[in-house]
A and B are shown apart, each in its own frame.
Chain A
Amino acid sequence: MSATTTREAETTRSRPPAPVRPRTFSRRQKIVITVVNLALFCVAWELVARLSGVPSLLVPTFSAVVGEFFAMRQEGILWANLWISLQIYLVGMALSILAAIPFGLLVGGIKILDRIVGPYVWALYTLPRLILMPLILLWVGINDTARVLLVVLSAGPAIIVVIMDAMKTIEPSLVRAARSFCAGRRQVFTHVALPSTVPYIATAVRMGVSRGLIGLFIGELFTAADGIGYVMVLAGRQFNSARVYFILLVFVAFSVALVGLTQWLEKKASIWRSA
Chain B
Amino acid sequence: MEVMQGGTGSASPAIEARGVTVAYERARHKDTLVALQDFDLEIRSGEFVTVVGPSGCGKSTFLNVVAGLVPPARGEVFVEGKPVRGPGPERSVVFQDYALMPWRTVEGNVRFGLEMQRRVDRSTRERIARYIEMVGLTGFERAYPRELSGGMRQRVGLARALVTEPRILLMDEPLAAVDAMTRELMQDELSRIVAETGQAVLFITHSVDEAITLADRIAVVTNRPGRIKEIIPVPFQRPRGRDVRNLPDYIALRDRIWSLLEAERHTNRSQVEAGV
Q: Is B99 touching A176 in the complex (CB atoms < 8 A)?
A: yes
User: Are A180's CB and B87's CB within 8 A?
Assistant: yes
Give the chain A neighbours of B68 by CB distance below 8 A: 180
Chain A positions within 8 Å of B103 at CB level: 195-196, 198, 272
B67 contacts A by Cβ under 8 Å: yes
Cβ–Cβ contact B67 & A174, under 8 A: no
- Chain A residue numbers with a CB within 8 Å of B147 are 275
Contact B144 A182 (CB under 8 A): no
What total of A-B pairs shows CB separation below 8 Å? Answer: 67
Interface residues of B (CB under 8 A from A): 64, 67-69, 86-89, 91-93, 95, 97, 99-104, 112-113, 115-117, 144-147, 164
B116 close to A174 (CB less than 8 A)? no
Q: Is the CB of A191 within 8 A of B116?
A: yes
- Interface SS of chain B: loop
Within the complex, which residue of B86, B97, B112, B115 is in contact with A173, where a contact is CB–CB below 8 Å?
B97
Q: Would you call A183 an interface residue if the criterion is a C-beta within 8 Å of the partner chain's C-beta atoms?
A: yes
Residues of B within 8 A of A163 (CB): none
User: Does A179 make an interface contact (CB < 8 A)?
Assistant: yes
Assess whether B67 is in contact with A180, with CB atoms less than 8 Å apart.
Answer: yes
Min CB gap A196→B, angstroms: 7
Q: Would A177 and B102 be within 8 Å (CB), given that A191-B115, A272-B144, A272-B146 are in contact? A: no
Q: Are B164 and A275 in contact (CB under 8 A)?
A: no
What DSSP secondary structure best describes chain A's contact surface?
Answer: helix
Task: Find out whether the CB atom of B116 lies under 8 angstroms from the CB atom of A192.
Answer: no
A173-B95, A187-B116, A191-B115 are known contacts. Are A179 and B101 too (CB-CB below 8 A)? no
In the complex, whether A273 has a CB less than 8 A from a CB of chain B is yes
Closest Cβ of chain A to B174, distance in Å, is: 14
* Complex contacts, B100 vs chain A, CB 8 Å: 177
Instruction: Give the distance in Å from the alpha carbon of A209 to the alpha carbon of B164 in the complex.
Output: 44
Q: Find out whether the CB atom of B69 lies under 8 angstroms from the CB atom of A179.
A: yes
Residue of A nearest to B114 (CB): A181
User: From A7, which residue of chain B is reached at the shortest CB distance?
Assistant: B147
**Contact assessment for B88 and A182 in the assembled complex, using a CB-CB cutoff below 8 Å:** yes
Is there contact, CB below 8 Å, between B87 and A174?
Answer: no
A192 to B146: give the CA distance in the assembly, Å: 17
Q: Which of the listed residues B86, B103, B113, B164 has the most CB atoms from chain A within 10 Å of its own CB?
A: B103
Indicate whether A182 sits within 8 Å of B95 (C-beta atoms), given known contacts A273-B102, A275-B146: no
